[in-house]
Each structure stands twice: as structure tokens, then as C-alpha cells.
Amino acid sequence: MRFAVIVFPGSNCDVDMYHAAKDELGEEAEYVWHDETSLDGFDAVLLPGGFSFGDYLRTGAIARFSPIMNEIVKAAEAGKPVLGVCNGFQVLLEAGLLPGAMRRNESLKFICRPVNLTVKNNETIFTSLYKQDEVIQIPIAHGEGNYYCDDETLAVLKDNKQIVFTYEGTNPNGSIENIAGIINKQGNVLGMMPHPERAVDPLLGGADGLKLFKSIVKQWRESHAVKA
């Protein structure tokens, strides 16, 4: 399986993403600069955390107009897995690939620490190796992770089981309904504020995030085995 790790000016978790795909999974991975205009040959897309374009205007607002975003939209429409973490999640929101918006943390402070998450939907291509309602520990590092959507959108998210992860216990940022990660209706685009790529090895303090990446590979291999 071949992963594209998108790099914007200001990305700082691209190496972590690359390490998760290349070293922990043993799959192919390649950095793709934001002004590239093709994702041909890639099976999945990873949008890392960081401060794309310095977080000017709004987080993700400028990155959303990078040339590579047209190809990411095409990849999403083709059903390929697209994972956006932290700033990557913010970019997906700005691009309209996921519903809702991101606001400043309720505390108005940057938060960087491990948090507990509940797997609310383990029937996605990103969570199939987790148990339903399993509690996992994944680190967060953000200043604008307060997810918000209107009541109508929230009802749709609930009805379609698009809420994939919620914060367990204390809500660190004020996110509505404790939401930490959501998926699109098609089920192939996931955005989440916590960093699973920073939890793929016990040496990093925990490996609860590794199952997410393994779930992607599992789905890809199963789908390609059927085609073969």
C-alpha cells in the first residue's frame, strides 16, 4: 500500500506520519509538497498536523487553496482513505470534505497532553481493529480544537454514525458533544484532533494509535484481494 504524506509550509507532523506508515506499518510512503498536482499511484492520503501557512486567517484556511487539494478531493470522491489529523482535520473542514468548523479551545490556551478517547464507531475503515466503545490514549497538541456544528449537522452526524471518536472524561477543548473525530458520509474521510501517529510505539509512550493505521491497511488488502 502506498501512502501520500501531504506537506504544507508549516507542517510539523509530516515526519511522524511518514514514520507511522513506513517504519511501523512497513508500507510505502512518500512526501507530497502542497503545490503538486497529482496523486496518481497513491492508495491513501495523510494530512498531518502543524501550522499550515502559519495558521493565518484561520487554521487550514489558506492550505485549503493549495493545488494538491484538488487531487485530495478527487481521491476522496474515488473512495480512497483520507486521514486528516489536527491541522489536517482543520484543512478538511475548510475544504468542505467534512462538516462543521473549528474554534479556539475553550480555555484559549494551547493544550499538549495525552487524552483518553472512546471509539464510538468501530465499523469504519479506520477503526475496524478497535472494539466498540474501547477507550484508548492518544496525545493532543492544539490551540483550535474546539469542534462545532449546528444542531441539524449534529443530528446528521449522530444518525449516520459519523462521530468516530469522543473525549472520555474531561473535555479538553470544549468541543460539542465531546467530539474528537468525525468521518464523512461515504466513510473514507476521517478528521481527528488527537495524534494517532504519535502513539504507534511503546517508546513514544503508547501504541494505541497503531491500530488506526493497521485498520487502513487491512481494509485496503481485503478490498484488493476481492478484486484480484
Catalytic position from the list 13, 19, 34, 86: 86
3-state SS assignment for residue 223:
helix
- Is the per-residue pLDDT at 226 higher than 90? no
Number of structural domains the chain divides into: 1
3-state SS assignment for residue 57:
coil
Q: Looking at residue 111, which CATH number applies to its domain?
A: 3.40.50.880
pTM, 2 dp? 0.96
Predicted confidence (pLDDT) per residue in 174-183, tens digit: 999 999 999 9
Q: What is the mean pLDDT of the chain?
A: 96
Tell me, yes or no, if 86 is annotated catalytic: yes
**Separation between Cα atoms, residue 38 and residue 174, nearest integer Å:** 37
Predicted confidence (pLDDT) per residue in 4-33, tens digit: 999 999 999 999 999 999 999 999 999 999
| Full residue range of the structural domain in which residue 88 is found | 2-227
**Separation between Cα atoms, residue 197 and residue 209, nearest integer Å:** 6
Catalytic position from the list 19, 34, 142, 195: 195
Least confident window among 8-22, 59-73, 112-126, 212-226: 212-226
